[in-house]
Structure formats: structure tokens, C-alpha cells
Amino acid sequence: MSTQGAAPSFPPLLTGIAVTGAIEPFNKARAMAALGCDAGTVVHNITADRIAAALVLAPEVPLGRAMAMLPACGVGFQNALGALGPPEVAVHLDWAGGIRVNGARCGRLRVAAGTSDPAALPDWLVIGLEVPLVLLTDRPGEHPDETALYEEGCAEVEPVALLEAWARHTLVWITRWEDEGTRALHAEWRGLAWGMGEETTQGNLTGTWLGVDEDFGMLLRDQETTHLIPLTTVLEAA
């Protein structure tokens, strides 16, 4: 049983590295990945008000296909909170990486890679997770579309246990994706996708979000045509 303040315990294929203070796990993991750290490294920083972590991967497929790791990590988080949190807590996933709890924004997933070319094999891929535990505001209701785990009835969920569960469930989905292809991940993710079938804006395009292609690219229909927006467009600069 994990306790807050204890070091997280990860599956054998993953190695945890704790950082403290103002060090952002996502930035630290990108720097480590660029220097050649091992795949499976999980950089993490749990504080009183949030969970932040980043997973380093070394895909063996072109970047365009490897971007499936973003939704895999999102599904892993939903599975983790679903297992540890109250049954009435609903988790959904924005296409670009946002996390929603009971309909409100509650953290995000981020992604960076060693290349921006969808056809190239990336030397590394980093997925970052940031989830607030409490709302840092003196004015309740100031941002009604934002929430935090403790505001949604998850005060009994131990942050370390949630981080461990995210790592475990994410690893399961990555393994299934590698072994079975995208079908199972697609099915699970589509059931969690926030706003599919509704009007949305992505970049300079606005239209109806029809769904996604095999590599989770957004199919956006405006008045003239259906656009394919690759998931690589959400990559952060390396």
C-alpha cells in the first residue's frame, strides 16, 4: 500500500526518478531523453497541490504512428483514476491531451519527440502528465471550467498510488498497442473522447469533429470539406 511521501513503486520495465522543487518532470525528461537515457524512465514530482510526471519512450515505428502513445497515456490515466477514485467520478480526454474530470478541465497530457517528421523514426518520445490536486485560487468559481481532483471527491486518492497506477495501466495499453495494433486502444479511447461529434476549433480550422483516423488524426468537417489534422500537430518543440 502506497503512502503519500513514499517513493513510487513502478513495474519492472519502468524506472522512477524523483525531482523536487520547481523542476518540471516534462522538461527534465526531454533533456534526459535527448542525452540518451533509457526508455521506460519515469520522471516525477509530487507536491501538495499537483502530480507531475513524464514517461520516456523509444518508439520503433515512425513518429506519426508513435503518437498513439498520447491517447494510450490518457486511457491509462482514466483507468488508474477509475480504479482508485469514487465510482461517480467521470474522466474524459480532449483530443490534444487535455484531461477532464466531471466535465471540467483537470490537467493535461503533453508530448515532445526527437523529430517533428511524421515519417521519421524518433530517437525518443516523452509524454508528460500534469494533474492538479487542489485549485490554487482565492476566488472559488473564478474559473468554472477548471477543477482539481480533491474538488471532485478524490481526496482519499493517494497521489503516489495514482502515479503508480497510471504507470501500470499505461504500460498495459502500450503493450496491447504493440501486440494487437490500434483497434483496442481506438475503442477504449473513443468512449472517453470529449466533444466528438460536436463543433470544435483546432488551430485555424472550425468544424464538426467526426472522429479520428488510424493514427488518431482528427477528422474535422467544415462547410467545404473534411480536413485531416495529424496528432503530430500537438507536439511541443523539442
Chain position carrying cell 502530480: 51
CATH number at residue 42: 3.30.930.10
- When divided into structural domains, the chain yields a total of 1
Residue 39 corresponds to which cell in the numbers above? 526508455
Residue 37 belongs to domain spanning: 15-194
Q: Is residue 1 part of a domain?
A: no
pLDDT digits (tens, 9 = 90+) for 152-205: 999 999 999 999 999 999 999 999 999 999 999 999 999 999 999 999 999 999
Q: Is residue 230 part of a domain?
A: no
Query: Does 36 reside within a domain?
Result: yes
Q: Is residue 236 domain-resident?
A: no
> How long a stretch of residues is the chain?
238
pLDDT band of residue 3 (cuts 50, 70, 90) is very low
Q: Is residue 31 part of a domain?
A: yes
In a domain, 203, yes or no: no
Q: DSSP label at 14?
A: -
Query: In what helix (H) or strand (E) does residue 26 lie, and over which residues does it extend?
Result: helix 25-34
pTM for the model: 0.94
Cα 237 from chain centroid? 17
